[in-house]
Every structure is written in structure tokens, then in C-alpha cells.
Amino acid sequence: MRLVIKLGTSTVTGGGAAPDRARLAGVARSLRRLCDAGHQPVLVSSGAVAAGRALRPDIAAGRNVPHKQMLSALGQPALMALYTALFADEGLQVAQILLTHADVEHRRRYLNARTTLLGLIDAGIVPVVNENDTLATAEIRVGDNDQLSALIAGLVDAPLLVLLTDQDGLFDADPRRNADARLVTDISEDPIPDVLWEAAGGSTGGLGTGGMLTKLRAAEIARRAGTDTVIANGQDSAVIERLLAGEAVGTRIRAGIAPREARKRYILAGGRARGAIVVDAGAETALGAGRSLLAVGVTTTDGDFGRGDTVEVRGPAGRLLARGIANYSAAELLRIAGRRSGDIETVLGYHYGPEAIHRNDLVTL
Ligand SMILES: Nc1ncnc2c1ncn2[C@@H]1O[C@H](COP(=O)(O)OP(=O)(O)O)[C@@H](O)[C@H]1O
Ligand SMILES: N[C@@H](CCC(=O)OP(=O)(O)O)C(=O)O
């Protein structure tokens, strides 16, 4: 299974001042076993600011944004060095991905981020994602890694997002303040009921940050992409394996639909198409068989769409065959229409793969 695992600062540091080497070595061992079992993990890791602060305790951050950005810039390579070494001990390679909200929102960057992430996963490399704090001013920030990890889960079509924290999950009251608080194990109501938002520390309209509130917000984003979210305790080094073995751990917020279905709905509901790709009879047959649309089957285009735009696919007689997300712009497609996959690079000087639209981004009608 493809899954996104998010480690909060509290998990990375084990409650201490710096990243906890032993704790992260446990994460590396756990991911090694997941990979061996055929799973495809993506890690979203906080802890850059904490790692920076450990190196330069004299730079006080608090709510000082530039200082936080400095600490993050200082701490991120130290954190990655630790991941690189600990994962290498397990025979695994890691790759760093730093993103802002703008990268996930913008159509073309979205496709580029997705292609890179999926390529790394396919190559057996574990992507380690964090927010690009240096660039992340208020307008383009995701704001917290809980929500960033939910966006990443949508990006890679992961059916499961695991948010590891310092509690067993969401309780019906903050367990730090209420000894009688009880764990909420399952949430399938959509939207998440108000009493649970209140338990998490705020109302749905509130502006609270951190704690469980951002985890519920993340679960709502993940759910729209067809991803189940599990909030669980990162102090337990076997928690992910127990979860994947079918044990009920932590709090599960259920999506109700699969990522594939969610992507289909997104493509179908994606507003007016920005243009159309016209295909030949061979491509029409291929689409009917559930295959990708290759450049060789494209005859012409209509409209001025860009890479990442939603377009219609029309048959030789003009019939609407499908809707999908274009892998090349209209201008590029006009140049490579009818050309074999191997010719694309010769014509354009670069390529994004042989597909005009990848089958994962196509909904046939
Ligand atoms: N209803 C609740 N259930 C569980 N934890 C809660 C709840 N309300 C507030 N919290 C607090 O949320 C904290 C976890 O959030 P946070 O520190 O932001 O985690 P992380 O760094 O792992 O993202 C817990 O330590 C807990 O005190
Ligand atoms: N990008 C920041 C983390 C921000 C964040 O969301 O932290 P947390 O709430 O601990 O998951 C860092 O690496 O320190």
C-alpha cells in the first residue's frame, strides 16, 4: 500500500530539544520492514526548526518568523543528514522534497511534484517531505505539516495517511488536562461532528493552531482525496506495522471512497475544460481499453491549454470520449502529434514521458 507517514516535532525529538537519533533509527527500521512487505512509504517530517534551535540556541524564535525561517534553514540539512545516515544503515535511500502550498495548488507545479514523487517511489527511494519554510510567507504557506501531509497523500493517491504524534490519537478532551479523557477510535461522519472539533481545541470556524485541530483539518483534506487518516502514537516504534497488520490503533477518520474514485470525481468536477485533444481511431480504441493516451494517437488540439489543465478528449468524428489532465500543453502537443514516443525528445528537446494524458488522469465517458 502507498502511505504517507507524518512525524510531528514531538515525535522527531521524542520530547527533547534535538532530533532523537534512537527514535528516528526506529522509524528507519520500521520503514525498511514496510518496504520489504511491498508498501510504498512517503515520509513527511517536521523538526527542522527544532534541529536548528539545537545547533544555535542563541537565535530565539518564538513568534519571530524570520528567526524561525533561519532555524529551519539551518536545521533542515542536519535533519536530512540524520535521515540519510539512519536509512542507509537499513539499506534505504532518502530524497528531500521541500514544498509550499503554491507548489501543490499550481497546476503545472502540481504535476511536476507528483511526477517526481512517484518516480522516487518507483525507484525504491523514500521521499522525505517538509514545508519550504524559507519561502513560506503567509500567503503561500500550508502552515503546518499535518495539512501538508494530507496534500501529499492526495498528490500520490495514497489511501492512507498516518499522523504520528505524542498521544494515542484524538481524545474526547485534551488528555493533558483531563485524566478521564477517552480515545475516539473511529470517525466516519462527514463532516467531522462539532463535538470532536471542540474536543480538538476549537470550533470549526476557529483559527486555533497546532494540537489536534490541524490534524482534523488534515483529515478533512485527505478525505476529499479518498485517503483514510489515522492519528496514532509515534512513541510506539511498531505502530505503523500494527496498523498495517489490521490492528485498530489510534483514531481513524474514514474517507468512504477510494483515491481512484476521488480523482475521477475531481477530473469530472474540474470546471470547464480549457481545450480539447482530438485523437485517431487507434487511440479511441486504446482509451476504451483503459490505456493512456499517447502522443502518437493525437491528431490535433483545440484551445490554448497548458500542462496540468483539464481537457476534453474527442474522437475522429468529434464524439466526446474522455476528460483528463494534459501532460503537455496544446502548443507542445501540436508539435508532437502523431509522433512516436521516442521522437518526443528530438522534437521538443525534453519530454515528460510518452503520455499526452496518463491513464491515471483520464476518465472515459
Ligand atoms: N482532544 C485531544 N486529544 C488528543 N490530544 C489533544 C487534544 N486536544 C489537544 N491535544 C494536544 O495535542 C497535542 C499534539 O499536538 P502537537 O503538539 O501539535 O503534535 P505534533 O508535534 O505531533 O504535530 C497533544 O500533546 C495534546 O496535548
Ligand atoms: N516545517 C516545520 C514544522 C512545522 C510543523 O507543522 O510542525 P509540527 O506541528 O510539529 O508537525 C519544521 O520542520 O520545523
Q: Nearest ligand to the C-alpha of residue 168?
A: 1
Q: Which residue puts its alpha carbon closest to atom 2 of ligand 1?
A: 174
CB atoms within 10 A of CB 293: 27
Query: Which residues form the pocket of ligand 1, taking CB atoms under 6 Å from any ligand atom?
Result: 8-11, 165-167, 170-171, 173-176, 199-201, 210-212
pLDDT tens digits in sequence order for the chain, 365 residues long? 999 999 999 999 998 999 999 999 999 999 999 999 999 999 999 999 999 999 999 998 777 888 999 999 999 999 999 999 999 999 999 999 999 888 887 777 888 899 999 999 999 999 999 999 887 666 667 778 999 999 999 999 999 999 999 999 999 998 888 899 999 999 999 999 999 999 998 544 444 456 799 999 999 999 999 999 999 999 998 999 999 999 999 999 999 888 888 888 888 887 789 999 999 999 999 999 999 999 999 999 999 999 999 999 999 999 999 999 999 999 999 999 999 999 999 999 999 999 999 998 999 99
Q: Which CATH class is domain 2-263?
A: alpha beta
Which one of the ligands is nearest to 166 CA?
A: 1
Binding residues, as ranges, are: 6, 46, 133, 145, 165-166, 209-215
Distance CA 320, CA 317 (A): 9
In which order are the strands placed within the sheet that holds 251-253?
94-99, 126-131, 40-45, 2-7, 160-165, 228-233, 251-253, 186-187
**Which residue's CA lies nearest to atom 4 of ligand 2?**
144
- pLDDT, residue 8, reads 92
At residue 203, φ and ψ (nearest 5 deg) are -85, 165
CB atoms within 10 A of CB 306: 17
In contact, 181 and 169? CB cutoff 8 Å: no
Residue whose CB lies within 8 A of the most ligand 2 atoms, among 9, 131, 161, for a mutation test: 9
Distance CA 214, CA 147 (A): 7
Burial 121-160 (b: 16+ CB within 10 A, else e): beeeebbbbbbbbeebeeeebbebbbbbbbbbbbbbbbbb
Ligand 2 geometric centre to CA of 58 (Å)? 20
Domain ranges across the chain: 2-263, 270-364
**What is the H or E stretch that residue 239 is in?**
helix 239-244
Residue 220 C-alpha to ligand 2 middle, in angstroms? 19
- ipTM score for this prediction: 0.96
Rounded distance between C-alpha atoms, residue 131 and residue 328, angstroms: 27
pLDDT at 174: 87
52 C-beta neighbours (distance < 10 Å), count: 27
Q: Taking the model in full, what pTM does it have? A: 0.90
Which residue's C-alpha comes closest to atom 3 of ligand 2? 46
Dihedral angle at the C-alpha atoms of 234, 242, 126, 115, nearest 10 degrees?
A: -110
- Is the distance from the beta carbon of residue 312 to the nearest atom of ligand 2 less than 6 Å? no
Question: CA–CA separation, 253 vs 170, rounded Å?
Answer: 10
Q: What local confidence, expressed as pLDDT, does residue 143 receive?
A: 75
CATH top class, domain 270-364: mainly beta
Instruction: Enter the C-alpha cell of residue 233.
Output: 502514537
9 CA distance to ligand 2 middle (Å): 6
Residues 243/174, Cβ–Cβ less than 8 Å = no
Q: How many angstroms does the Cα of residue 213 sit away from the middle of ligand 2? A: 14
How confident is the model at residue 202, as a pLDDT? 57
Smallest CA separation from ligand 1 atom 9, residue: 174
**206-214 CB contacts, 8 Å cutoff, 24+ apart:** 209/143, 209/144, 210/144, 211/174, 212/167, 212/170, 212/174, 214/143, 214/144, 214/146, 214/147
Ligand nearest to the CA of 183: 1
